Amino acid sequence: MAVHLRVPSLRADRPETAVRFGWPSRDARRKALKRAFDVIVAVLVLVVLLPLLLLVALLIVLDAPGPVLYRHMRAGYRGRPLRMLKFRKMRPDARGAYLTLAGDERLTRVGAWLARTKLDELPQFWHVLRGEMSLVGPRPESPVCVARYASDYDVILSVRPGLTGYTQLAFCREASILDPHDPERHYLTDLLPQKVALDRFYAEHSSLRRDLLILAATIGTLVFRQSVAVHRTAGTLTRRRRPTVGERRVSAPAAVVGGGVGRDD
């Protein structure tokens, strides 16, 4: 009498096989790859740019008395408090709005250069190394802003905040657009809702391919001074054509609605 033994298939696309052998899901593999990429890049940047970091620290000390770094409280991954590091850009006795404006008189000479080149963000690679931030993700916001959009941030804070992302690209020149007479009101009522929408879109559609496109666009923005437009519903990135003087005069409000500026604090 012949006995037939049924040998189960070991194909990875069979869900019961994945459960039996404990193979990670596709989402888990993506997150693991993203984290590994974050760590490798953060280590390389901190090692390669160590001389630049030391030079910036020295320039800050020589330019104005006070600490080299400062921390700003933000809402981090899964709502955990994040004391985000930045190189100090302002005088120690600086007071006023928490937003940085174009030509802000509180900036030191070195601080104005740091704000223009975004080098003040370099210490945040330490947060990436520690797992508190990612290279790409939503920009960490203040707890006050998060409280205004609690339901949206339940989704946004489900992913790690990033050094760069959709809002950092679309709003990279916010300092030059904010209303100098009431920057906080302008930010909270006009700009923050746009940022929340973009950050939520990223959190709901994050992928490694999307991250690589955002990183490439970030390099184009920082190195080649290219302006990038972000499509709100599709997340596509395109090079923004600089409007003529006449176009800026006619359509200035539309430029704000389109998301071409961003906070620089």
Biggest CA-to-CA distance, the chain: 94
Distance, CA of 208 to CA of 186 (rounded, Å): 34
| Position with higher pLDDT, 163 vs 261 | 163
| Position with higher pLDDT, 226 vs 169 | 169
Distance, CA of 250 to CA of 233 (rounded, Å): 25
Q: Whole-number mean pLDDT of the chain?
A: 83
Question: Could you tell me the pLDDT band of residue 261, with boundaries at 50, 70 and 90?
Answer: very low
pLDDT attached to residue 91: 85
Cα separation values, 85 from 72, 82, 119, 120, 213, Å: 7, 9, 12, 9, 25
| Position with higher pLDDT, 229 vs 123 | 123
Q: Where are the alpha helices (DSSP H) in 88-205?
A: 109-117, 125-130, 143-148, 150-156, 166-170, 183-186, 192-204
The phi and psi torsions of 83 (rounded to 5 degrees) equal -90, 90
Sole residue written with tokens 């302002």: 90
pLDDT attached to residue 136: 98
Question: Could you tell me the pLDDT band of residue 100, with boundaries at 50, 70 and 90?
Answer: confident
For the ranges 47-61, 114-128, 175-189, the lowest mean pLDDT is seen at 175-189
Question: Could you tell me the pLDDT band of residue 242, with boundaries at 50, 70 and 90?
Answer: low
Question: In this structure, how many other beta carbons lie within 10 angstroms of the beta carbon of residue 126?
Answer: 14
Q: Are 166 and 211 in contact (CB under 8 A)?
A: no
| Position with higher pLDDT, 81 vs 240 | 81
pLDDT attached to residue 13: 46
Question: Could you tell me the pLDDT band of residue 106, with boundaries at 50, 70 and 90?
Answer: confident
Q: Which of 70, 69, 67, 192 is nearest to 142 (CA)?
A: 192
Does the pLDDT of residue 9 top 60, yes or no?
Answer: no
What is the end-to-end Cα distance of the chain in Å, rounded? Answer: 80
Does the pLDDT of residue 88 top 90, yes or no?
Answer: yes
pLDDT attached to residue 104: 78
Question: In this structure, how many other beta carbons lie within 10 angstroms of the beta carbon of residue 16?
Answer: 9
As a whole number, mean pLDDT of residues 238-265 equals: 43
pLDDT attached to residue 8: 43
Three-state DSSP at 86 gives strand
As a whole number, mean pLDDT of residues 156-184 equals: 89
187 DSSP assignment:
I
